[in-house]
Structure 1
């Protein structure tokens, strides 16, 4: 079986999900007051990252946890509705060239996967019309049907992406040499290196250098 693995932010989706999520919370007619709590929580790791004393991976992890904490009283239905509102704003910014590639992989009977650090309910909402077999994202936990913001999240990024991919494909015989992966940043490198056909999508400078050196396709 061949697989085609797609990153989301900067790849299938042309922009950054987290910035849109912040703006949606900040300007929400009902929940905007929650933004202050979120902002207070993300500033220490954000400043630490800018001062180069706090790793980017940890900063991203803390930011995702802080966002969920701001939604601490949401039920599962309320959270899915909230993410649905965000998804409605994203459709016009999907990358049409990458969407076309995804559809071509489906037509070629490749097993299509989406792997992202974004919240899984948001990924499902924004890609519900796309024929994706498996979506791997940052899972939201619940306690008595209320968002569990206290349990640390397993933020899907870097090498954890490959671990989750391998777990999802356990038991399948994968033709990695003839499989594809799409990503835009250096943090996608572990996934891109899994396959015989890595594609750098509008790559950031550090990934572009790797792609050019290794003669990878650049979209």
Structure 2
């Protein structure tokens, strides 16, 4: 089996997802009243991150937990609907060049995966017109209750590599002829899994690695 593994933010989708999530919450007719509570709790951690007192990974995990706390006592159906509304508007803004690569890999018989730290309902909504063999994102605990801490397992950094390896622990994978696509240095662990890593409009740190190792870059 040969894999083609795609990142989402900055790769399949050209922009970062979280600012769009924030705006969706801020302007949503049913949940906008929760935005102030979300943002006031986020600001101290974000300031600490900008002052290099808080690691990016910690800041992102806290942001996601804080965001989900806006939906405590909300039903699974209502939460899914919230994410599907945003995903529907994002589905027409995917990267044409990356989608073309994905479709070519499908024609060539690759197993197509989307592995991202974004929330799973959003990923399924945005990619509703694309056929993936497997979509792995950050799961939402649908038993959110007031007074209880939100617990999530963000699929980011080294965790991406772990979930891919877990998925194929009992399957023989042709890693040397597999592909992986990512835009960020945080995607490095997944990119190093395969024989054909592709840096998509990479950030400065990933660009340096890609140049030094003669990796393909899509700009």
* TM-score, normalised with respect to structure 1: 0.96
Structure 2, unpaired ranges of 5+:
none
Shift of 1:151: 3.9
The runs of at least 4 consecutive aligned structure 1 residues that moved more than 2 Å come to 146-151
Q: Deviations over 1:14-45 (max 9, x none)?
A: 11110100011111122111101110121121
Q: Deviations over 1:87-136 (max 9, x none)?
A: 12212320010011111111111001100000011111111221101111
CA distance in 1, matches of 2:90, 2:145: 24
CA distance in 2, matches of 1:147, 1:153: 14
Q: Is the 8 A contact 2:68 2:150 kept in 1?
A: no
Structure 1, unpaired ranges of 5+:
none
* TM-score, normalised with respect to structure 2: 0.96
Matching residue of 1:86: 86
Q: Is the 8 A contact 1:111 1:133 kept in 2?
A: yes
Question: RMSD of aligned C-alpha atoms?
Answer: 1.3
Shift of 1:137: 0.6
2:138 paired with 1:117 = no
CA distance in 2, matches of 1:147, 1:200: 40
Q: Deviations over 1:154-173 (max 9, x none)?
A: 01110011001111112110
Q: Is the 8 A contact 2:69 2:150 kept in 1?
A: no
Q: Choose 111-120 or 134-143, whichever is displaced more.
A: 134-143
Q: Is the 8 A contact 2:120 2:138 kept in 1?
A: yes
Matching residue of 1:66: 66
Matching residue of 1:51: 51
Q: Is the 8 A contact 2:141 2:151 kept in 1?
A: no
Q: Is the 8 A contact 2:65 2:150 kept in 1?
A: no
